Amino acid sequence: MFITDIETMLEIFELGKKNGKNPGESCQEEFEIILKQKPDKFTYIGNTTSDVDMITGNLREKGLKILNLKEIERRKQNDNKNN
C-alpha cells in the first residue's frame, strides 16, 4: 500500500487512458511506471491481504472520510439496473 497525492493519481489514470485502458480497468502497469519515474511522490505504508472494500470500511470505522471509486461504480451500475 502506498500514499500519494491526487496529481500523481491523475497522472497514472491519464497514462492508463493513453495506453487504451477503459474506466474501471486496472492501471497497475501505469502505477508501476510512475512509481519508478517518481519514487519521491509515494510513501510506502505496508502490505495487506485485505481488499479495498475491507480497508475502506475499517478506515471509515475510525472516523475517516474515504472515497472508494469501486463503490461509486457499483452505485452507478445498480442505478442503471433499477431504471
pLDDT digits (tens, 9 = 90+) for 12-54: 999 999 999 988 788 999 999 999 999 999 998 888 898 888 8
Please check whether residue 45 is in contact with residue 60, taking contact to mean a CB–CB distance below 8 angstroms: no
46 phi and psi angles, rounded to 5 deg: 135, 180
Residue at 2: amino acid letter: F
Residue at 64: amino acid letter: L
State the total domains in the chain. Answer: 1
Q: Which domain holds residue 47?
A: 2-82
In this prediction the pTM is 0.63
